[in-house]
Structure 1
Amino acid sequence: MTTRKAKLEELDPAKEGLREIGIQAVWSLSTCKPGFGIEQLRDDTHETYWQSDGTQPHLINIQFRRKITIDSIAIYADYKSDESYTPSKISVRAGNNFHDLQEIEVLDMNEPTGWVRIPLKDSKGQRIRTFTLQLAVLSNHQNGRDTHMRQIKVYAPLQQTSLEKFPNFTSVECAMHSTIR
């Protein structure tokens, strides 16, 4: 487990060979106020947000139907708009299900405004492979109780297509046999 300070970044996943895979997941929340749930968290606008309703920690659960390689998670936070509702400490957990989640990252955020990217690596420095991710908001700025989160994106590496796996042949004799008819 690593604790790190948040670093604001401009995101361009295509340049980094990444794709957003949140649409493939089943999302659930520990609590939410009516009209401030998953739809607002995933609607691709910074104007809406998820708002928790209850005691901390506030949980966001992201479950995939198959084990998947994850590169990073990106969170859009806006301290200027949300003040005490802005998370200041987030724990990221991963596992096969809710019963074996392991904390892999703890992020300290100091008045963030913009995208905060959290690379997800195992103890060997490799991208994690998991069925379940959980983000736990452990504390907010100014000791706030409820949380606002404006957007969350989950990124995985682009997968090679079968055509990209074929070698580039230099001789005409080999190249003419490299295509499947």
Structure 2
Amino acid sequence: MADSLKGEEEGKLTGGEQQLVVDGDLREMAKKAVWSVSSCKPGNGVASLRDDNLDTYWQSDGSQPHLVNIQFQKKVKLQLVVMYVDFKLDESYTPSKVSIRAGDGFHNLKEIKVVELVKPLGWVHISLSGSDPRETFVNTFMLQIAVLSNHLNGRDTHVRQIKVYGPQPNPIPHQPFQFVSTEFITYSTVR
């Protein structure tokens, strides 16, 4: 993960490995969402973004920006967006500038992060934490990933996978801390 975050201070990210590695205290949130895209070529739609196959990809079909919309039924906490992109295979279809937006719906999305990708190869980690160190997540109903431009001035885009992560829920409601071992969880409440 450290390699994929190299250059984040400068606003530029580069990709890493084929094997996805994220912190153990995060969980994938995307299965709780409804996914849509602004456009796609037949056979290269939303299903290709979510099939866990790095050989398939979403291919947009239209004018930029190209949008991936992720909508949740209830407000969720999100910490990390991870995209798999491959400049060696996709060349001018590879995103070079990506905007992450959050809000209650299409009508009030606000840009929370813009990143430039420099010939990315592999999993690119985009942290959603704000400039304030206490803001470790975004609390939102909707997340939108907008591909603003591609490498080599390409028109359409290829994104091979997208995953969205949030914090693990506390297994015991109204408990200010979280036990992880079975023994502690067993004796965590007094009756």
Equivalent residue number for residue 109 of structure 2: 101
Question: What TM-score comes out, normalization by structure 2 length?
Answer: 0.82
Can you give the 5+ residue segments of structure 1 that lack an aligned partner in the other structure? Answer: 169-174
* One-letter amino acid of the structure 2 residue matched with residue 145 of structure 1: R
- Counterparts in 2 of 1:179 and 1:135: CA distance versus 1, 3 Å: same
> Within 1, Cα distance between the matches of 2:124 and 2:151?
16
Corresponding position: 1:76 with 2:98: no
Aligned residue in 1 for 2:170: 160
Q: How many pairs are equivalent? A: 172
Matched residue, 1:139: 149
Distance in 2, Cα, partners of 1:5 & 1:124? 20
* Alignment partner of 2:21 out of 12, 36, 42: 12
Larger Rg: 1
CA RMSD of aligned residues (A): 2.5
Inter-partner Cα distance in structure 2 for 1:78 and 1:54: 21
Q: Find the aligned partners of 1:21 and 1:8 in 2 and give their Cα distance.
A: 22
Partner in structure 2 of residue 120 of structure 1? 128
Closer, same or farther: CA 28–163 of 1 in aligned 2, 3 Å: closer
Q: Deviations over 1:83-129 (max 9, x none)?
A: 00000000000001111100000010011010000000235341110
Q: 1:60 aligns with which of 64, 68, 73?
A: 68
The one-letter code of the counterpart of 2:25 is G
Match of 1:47 among 38, 50, 55: 55
State percent identity of aligned pairs: 51
Is the 2:171–2:178 Cα contact (8 Å) retained in structure 1?
A: no
Q: Tell me the distance in 2 between the aligned counterparts of 1:24 and 1:38.
A: 15
> 1:111 & 1:177 partners in 2: Cα distance?
49
TM-score w.r.t. length of structure 1: 0.87
Structure 1 equivalent of residue 3 of structure 2: none
1:167–1:46 distance in 2 versus 1, CA, 3 Å: closer
